[in-house]
Amino acid sequence: MKSGFRGLIAAAALVLAAGSAHAADALKIGVLTDMSGPYADVVGTGTVAAVKLAVEDMGGKVRGMPIEVVSADTQNKPDVASALARQWLDQGVDVLLGGSSSAAGLAIQAVAKEKKHIFLITDSASSDFTGKQCSPYGIHFGYDTYALSNGTAKAIVKQGGKTWYFLTVDYAFGYALERDASRFVEAAGGKVLGSVRHPLGASDFSSYLLQAQASKAQVIGLANASTDEVNAIKAANEFGITAGGQRLAALLIFITDVESLGLKTAHGLDLTTSFYWDLNDKTRAWTKRFVKAHGKIPTMTQAAAYSAVLHYLQAVKASGTKDPTKVAATMKATPINDMYNTNVKIRPDGRVLNTMYLMEVKSPAESKYPHDDYKVLAKLPGDQAFRPMSEGGCPFVEKK
pLDDT tens for the chain, 400 residues: list them. Answer: 444 555 555 445 545 544 443 445 899 999 999 999 999 999 999 999 999 999 999 999 999 999 999 999 999 999 999 999 999 999 999 999 999 999 999 999 999 999 999 999 999 999 999 999 999 999 999 999 999 999 999 999 999 999 999 999 999 999 999 999 999 999 999 999 999 999 999 989 999 999 999 999 999 999 999 999 999 999 999 999 988 999 999 999 999 999 999 999 999 898 999 999 999 999 999 999 999 999 999 999 999 999 999 999 999 999 999 999 999 999 999 999 999 999 999 999 999 999 999 999 999 999 999 999 999 999 999 999 999 999 999 999 865 4
The verdict on residue 76 lying in a domain is yes
Same domain, 46 and 57: yes
Statement to judge: residues 226 and 370 lie in one domain: yes
Residue 238 covered by a domain: yes
Could you give the number of structural domains in the chain? 2
Residue 392 lies in a domain: no
* Alpha carbon distance 231, 38 (integer Å): 11
Q: Are residues 303 and 341 in the same domain?
A: yes
Same-domain pairing of 318 and 210: no
Same domain? 15 vs 131? yes
Which residues, including other chains, have CB under 8 Å from residue 359's CB and lie 6 or more apart? 270, 271, 272, 273, 276, 374, 375, 376, 377
Cβ–Cβ under 8 Å, residues 351 and 361: no
**Domain match, 245 and 285 both:** no
Same domain, 184 and 247: yes
Q: Is residue 332 part of a domain?
A: yes
Domain identity same for 236 and 308? no
**Which range of residues forms the domain containing residue 213?**
146-277+356-385
The helix or strand, by DSSP H or E, that contains position 84, with its residue range, turns out to be helix 78-90
Task: Report the b/e string of 119-148 with b at 16+ CB within 10 A.
Answer: bbbbbbbbbbbbbebbbbbbbbbbbbbbbb
**263 shares its domain with 285:** no
204 lies in a domain?
yes
**Is residue 207, in this structure, part of any structural domain at all?**
yes
Residue 29 lies in a domain: yes
User: For 127-217, where are the E strands, in sequence order?
Assistant: 138-140, 163-169, 191-198
3-class DSSP state for residue 378?
strand
> If DSSP codes are grouped into helix, strand and coil, which group holds residue 214?
helix
- Which CATH number belongs to the domain containing residue 137 in this structure? 3.40.50.2300
Q: Is residue 309 part of a domain?
A: yes
What's this model's pTM, rounded to 2 decimal places? 0.92
Residues 370 and 229 in one domain: yes
Asked if 9 and 152 sit in the same domain, the reply is no
Same domain, 261 and 373: yes
